[in-house]
Structure 1
């Protein structure tokens, strides 16, 4: 027996598969450099800025990437600027330091601010017109 069901009565939800991050690397093409995030199944994504990465990541992704970056930085020196940038941004999120130059200079920042909340993983992004960016985890106490 077959029953015909009008489309408006069917609720269809796409099955989203989340692939875990297993590695990261710096990708270079001509003069453009980006972070390449490698997921299970060799599924890769490239991100030019940390802000782009935050638009696509959830909290589990951030936690996993931070553990991978910490692991690499403890075994080798981060000599590449792009590697150091990722390490610095993630370190500011997870292990804030009151001696960090960003926190010392924030009291002198009088530019108009743009404040965004990435609510899927609890990160605030504060940016100024001069290009200063601060990424803050919601549940952390910062200086």
Structure 2
């Protein structure tokens, strides 16, 4: 029997908490009314999502930033089309709010259904009766009208659990 000092042993252990960055995404269209985004991580794992808001349930802040960077890089020289356009617009609204965009100009036409906070990534989601979802980072300023802010406060914020961010 030999005594081996711990410092001399190299063990290839990977923590269960290891976080892999998002390295790609793909859009799959199943038929006219069904599609999904496949989000691919550096370890080769992937997960499928129907809409951006579903991603926010699993994402942290870095995941959101990684996806935004990937989408920006892919569409530096070309324009997104189809469902990729939806993802691109959601991320553009989130990271680059512009009061000239129609989503902000048409606020008076929206009836707010819910106001939710995804605490893990720090993103608010306003869901409207038209199906429009407005995604907003907690620390950014967005061109919300006084009327929309009143609707948000009357609706009250929905959170999955108590958090300082929500308060």
TM above 0.5, yes or no, is: yes
TM-score normalised by the chain length of structure 1: 0.82
Partner of 2:130: 130
Aligned pair count reads 128
TM-score normalised by the chain length of structure 2: 0.71
Cα offset, 1:134, TM superposition: 1.0
CA distance in structure 1 between the aligned counterparts of 2:44 and 2:31, rounded to whole angstroms: 23
Cα offset, 1:25, TM superposition: 1.2
User: Any unmatched runs of 5+ in structure 2?
Assistant: 1-14, 144-167
1:26 aligns with 2:21: no
User: Any unmatched runs of 5+ in structure 1?
Assistant: 1-13
CA distance in structure 1 between the aligned counterparts of 2:130 and 2:84, rounded to whole angstroms: 23
1:90 aligns with 2:91: yes
SS in 2 for 1:113: strand
SS in 1 for 2:20: coil
The Cα offsets for residues 116-135 of structure 1, whole Å up to 9 and x where unpaired, read as 11111111111123322111
1:56 aligns with 2:79: no
Cα offset, 1:23, TM superposition: 0.8
Change (3 A) 1:91 1:15: same
Change (3 A) 1:119 1:27: same
CA distance in structure 2 between the aligned counterparts of 1:23 and 1:136, rounded to whole angstroms: 23
Change (3 A) 1:37 1:116: same
Cα offset, 1:30, TM superposition: 4.7
Partner of 1:8: none
> Following superposition of structure 1 onto structure 2, how do residues 39-54 of structure 1 map, counting pairs within 5 Å?
39-54=41-56
